Amino acid sequence: MGDMAGRRTDARQKMVSAARELLREQGYHATALSDVLRRSEAPRGSVYFHFPGGKAELAVEAAALHSQEQVSAIDSAAAAATSPAELVRAYLERARTNLVASDYRQGCTIAPLVIESTRDSDELDAVGRRSFETIIAALAGHFVAFGLAPDDARRLADVTVAGAEGALITARALRDPAPFDAMIDVLTRGIA
Amino acid sequence: MGDMAGRRTDARQKMVSAARELLREQGYHATALSDVLRRSEAPRGSVYFHFPGGKAELAVEAAALHSQEQVSAIDSAAAAATSPAELVRAYLERARTNLVASDYRQGCTIAPLVIESTRDSDELDAVGRRSFETIIAALAGHFVAFGLAPDDARRLADVTVAGAEGALITARALRDPAPFDAMIDVLTRGIA
DNA sequence: CCGATGCTATGTCGGTCGTCATACATGTCA
DNA sequence: TGACATGTATGACGACCGACATAGCATCGG
C-alpha cells in the first residue's frame, strides 16, 4: 500500500528528473520520450499512465521541479548572505558551477521551453512565464528583506535572472566561464 | 546566365532568411524544412540542391547571416555613439525593439543552436561559438577604440551579449520588456 | 536539333508519439 | 487458505511526419 504508492511516486519522480536533465542538455523537441525512458529506466507505457498529458505534461513538471529547486537554493543562499550582492553572486555562481561541472552541457531547464515556443499545450506555453516569475519573486523578496525598495528589488531580481540565463548561453557556446565572472562583477558593483 | 545565377542566389537567400526567422521563433528542431519552404515560397525539392548538407547547413548559414547583421548594426551604432555606454545601450535596445515589434516571438537565432545541442553536424556545433565570438569581438573592438583597455573591453562585450541573450529569454517569457530596461541601467552605470 | 546542366516533384526510409490489449500485483471474500 | 476482482503497469502496434535520395523536367549552349 504505502509501498505501492511509494513505488509509483518513485517512478514518476525518476521520469521527471530524467526529463529535467535532458531538457537542460538538449531542449524540448530534441528530447524523445525514448530518451527519457532509457535514462529513467522506465517502460514506455508508463508515461501515459503517470502523465496523461504526455510529453508536454512531463516537461511542465520538469520545469516546476527546476524552479522549485532554484527557489530552495535561493532561500538557502539568502540565509547565508548578508547583502543583496552576496545573494546575486551566489545565484550566478550556482549556475556557473553546474554548467562547468557538466562539461558545459547542462544549462537552464526553462529557457528551451521559452525559445522553442512549443504549441504542444497551453500549460507548456505558460510554464516559462510562471517559472521565471516564481524565481524572480523569490529573489526580490529576499532583496526587500535586505532593505531594498520593492521596485529596486524587482529590477535587481530581473537582471540577476536575465544575467544568469545569458551567461549560461554564452559561456556554454564559448566553453568558457568568463561571462559569468564578468556578469557577477557588473551586477554586484554599486549595490550594497 | 546573370539571370539564372541571380535567381539561384535569390532563392537561396530567401530560404536562409526564412530559416533565420523560424529559428528565432521556434528553434532548430521545431522548425521543419517544410516550414522553411512554405515561408520562403520555394519549391519543395530544392533544399538538397542548394544545401547539400541539408537542414544543418541551412541553419549554419542562417546563423552566419544573423551574426553578420549584428556586426553591421554594431558598426553603425558605434559610428553614431560617443561612448561605450551608448553602444551597449544601442545593442540592447535593438534586441528589445525586435522582440517587442514581433509580439515577443523573435528572439536570438544563435541561442537555440546552443541550447538544443544538436549533434547533427560538426559545423552546427561550432557555429554557436564562432557567431558569439564574432559579435563579441566586434563590440570589444569598438570599446577599445573608445579608449578601454583590451581586457575591460572584452569583459564589457561579454556582459553586453550575455545581458542581451538573457533579457531576450526572460522578457519573452514574461512578455514584458522590463528586463531590458533594468539590464541597460546596470550595464551602463559606472562606465564612461 | 541535340546534349548538358541546373532545378524540381515524387518516393522511401527512419523515427516519434500516443493508444490498446494483455499481464500483474494487491487486497478481498468465501 | 485459495480463488477472485480491481485497478495498475507494460510491451507491442499503428499512424504520422520528418529528412533525405533519386528520377524526371525545363532551360540553355552548341
Per-residue pLDDT tens over the stretch B132-158: 999 999 999 999 999 999 999 999 999
Express each pLDDT in A110-123 by its tens digit: 999 999 988 888 89
Q: Count CB-CB contacts under 10 A for residue B87.
A: 25
pLDDT tens, residue by residue, A140-175: 999 999 999 999 999 999 999 999 999 999 999 999
pLDDT computed for residue B2 by the predictor: 34
Query: B76 Cβ partners below 8 Å, 6+ apart?
Result: none
Q: Which candidate from A129, A181, A186 shows the least CB-CB separation from B174?
A: A129
Residue closest to sugar C1' of C10 by CA: B45
Taken in order A119, A129, A75, A9, the sign of the CA dihedral is negative
Residue B8: predicted pLDDT: 60
pLDDT-based confidence at B6, cuts 50/70/90? very low
pLDDT at residue A7 is higher than 70: no
CATH (domain of B143): 1.10.357.10
ipTM surpasses cut 0.90: yes
Structural domains of chain B, count: 1
What residues in B contact A175, CB-CB < 8 Å? 129
- Radius of gyration in angstroms for the set of CA atoms belonging to chain B, rounded to a whole number: 18
pLDDT tops 80 at residue B114: yes
Residue nearest to nucleotide D29 (CA to C1'): B1
Give the range of the structural domain holding residue B153, as residue numbers without chain letter: 2-188
Is B116 in Cβ contact with A111 (below 8 Å)?
A: no
Give the integer Cα–Cα distance in Å for A178 and A50.
Answer: 41
CB contact under 8 A, B111 and A159: no
Nucleotide nearest to B48 (CA to C1'): D20
Residue ranges near strand C (C-beta within 7 Å)? A 1, 3-4, 31-34, 44-45, 47-48, 54-56, 120; B 4-5, 7-8, 11, 42-46, 48-49
Q: How many CA atoms lie within 13 A of A2 on its CB side?
A: 0
> DSSP letter at B191?
-
